Amino acid sequence: MFKQRMVAGKLKSMVEHFSVVVLSGARQVGKSTLLKHIFPDYSMVVFDPSIDVGNARQDPDLFLDNHPSPLILDEIQYAPELVSCIKRRVDIDRQPGRYILTGSQQWSVMKTLAESLAGRAVFLDLEGFSWAEISEDVDAGFWLKHWLSSPERALTRLRARSSSRSVYEQLWRGGLPAADTLPLEFLPDFFSGYFRTYIERDARLLMDIGDWQQFGRFVQLVAALTSQEVNNSKLGREIGVTPQTARRWLGVLKATFQWFEVSPYSGNSLKRIAGKAKGYISDTGLVCFLQRISSPEALAGHPLAGALFESAVMAEIRKLMAAEAVPPILHHWRSHGGAEVDILLERDSIFYPVEVKLSTTPSKHDTRGITAFRKTYPHLQVAPGLVITPGNSAADDALLWKISDRDYALSWRAV
């Protein structure tokens, strides 16, 4: 069953105004399904790493002659020879909506696309389902838009998503469309196949890794460190490889959209601020599988539960940002003294601090990092802070409630 995606409107608008649109994202996030649904009149060709579909690699010009636009070219990284031919054709005819390309890798071909089609193409990333998309209440997913426009007005626009899942079940499932409707008992089998395909197909195409079992252990280690600052030396020591190898392997994970990093905010106090990025596995369901967390109930008492909730919220905000015409800049903040803000959004010179707490009773105590940020940068314009929590207000079951003079708690059911 098709579920509406929040980026659909932005994608349609791009196709109406640009000759080439590139939709990128990890395998099985729903790229092909989305394109088939909103562009049913387009022909689609799906490329394969081992088969030269339609002789596209051997004779790209003849291939495009036999497949006139409008055309969807799925997994374009497997037919890189087409890129220069598309460029020549678009230079002759700039009609909007000629080609829609998809890719599940950021390196090589995607880099070539960005360079060769500069000024001719636009790029959009698609991730797994957001919480609003899962509950089929896409409008509820635009809480971030309202908050960035006016935190005060956002108070009156929030509403709960219709979902019967607990936060632990949602974290255990993750956001991949194929995992959304599976019975719980089959999810380990799904993620086992997903991970095996990733190792044997996607990662192998990007880099020659001598010991694939060791690389698999590396991914398991990285999954256990989601929501932490990236330390390549520590990663290398733990798995028995050099920091340079650990950095390259993290690059493979980023290139295949399995891992993302959030840079630190430094402002003008460079000596006081830690300069390390925080890293996140993109899908919490995959983390649960790799860490052998057997059920949502087991996750509830697991040491990684808090880190997984933060990972999910960070990924959720990234998904909402993708639908924005002008998305904010995403940071985290931490001082050498230990004060930190999990998520820091910056747009129009306004900073929006967000803390993530796996607690049903957040309090003013949980806003210490936000208060420290305001004191460190008194010259900045800082919006009211948010503490995102699994619970609702105990007083009136509200989705958003005040927990300090300047900060609010926000239920995950409104996120």
Which of these, 356, 199, 194, 209, lies nearest to 288 by C-alpha position?
A: 194
Give the Cα separation of 237 and 250 in Å (integer).
Answer: 14
Give the Cα separation of 144 and 324 in Å (integer).
Answer: 9
pLDDT for 215 equals 86
Give the Cα separation of 316 and 63 in Å (integer).
Answer: 39
Asked which of 2-6, 106-110, 212-216 is least confident by mean pLDDT, the reply is 106-110
Residues 73-127: pLDDT tens digits?
999 988 989 988 999 999 999 999 999 999 887 655 566 776 777 778 899 999 9
Look at the alpha carbons of 140, 141, 143, 149 in this order and tell me if their dihedral is positive or negative: negative
CB 264 within 8 A of CB 276: yes
Give the Cα separation of 134 and 137 in Å (integer).
Answer: 8
Tell how strand 259-262 and strand 278-281 pair up: antiparallel
Looking at domain 8-125, its CATH class is alpha beta
Give the Cα separation of 368 and 334 in Å (integer).
Answer: 12
CB 222 within 8 A of CB 287: no
Asked which of 170-179, 197-206, 249-258, 325-334 is least confident by mean pLDDT, the reply is 197-206
In this structure, what token pair is assigned to residue 347? 């747009």
Q: How far is CA 114 from CA 65, 139, 376, in A?
A: 23, 32, 39
Number of neighbouring beta carbons within 10 Å of residue 406 = 14
In this structure, what token pair is assigned to residue 205? 């195409």
Asked which of 152-161, 247-256, 307-316 is least confident by mean pLDDT, the reply is 152-161
Q: What is the DSSP string of 237-259?
A: HHHTS-HHHHHHHHHHHHHTTSE
pTM above 0.85, yes or no: yes
Q: Domain map of the chain by residue range?
A: 8-125, 131-414
CB 105 within 8 A of CB 77: yes
Give the Cα separation of 212 and 232 in Å (integer).
Answer: 19
The residues that bridge with 350 in the sheet, in sequence order, are 347, 381
Q: What is the DSSP string of 191-237?
A: HHHHHHHIIIIIIHHH---S-HHHHHHHHHHHHHTTTEE--HHHHHH
Is a pLDDT exceeding 50 seen at residue 272?
no
Residues 378-401: pLDDT tens digits?
999 999 999 999 987 666 667 888
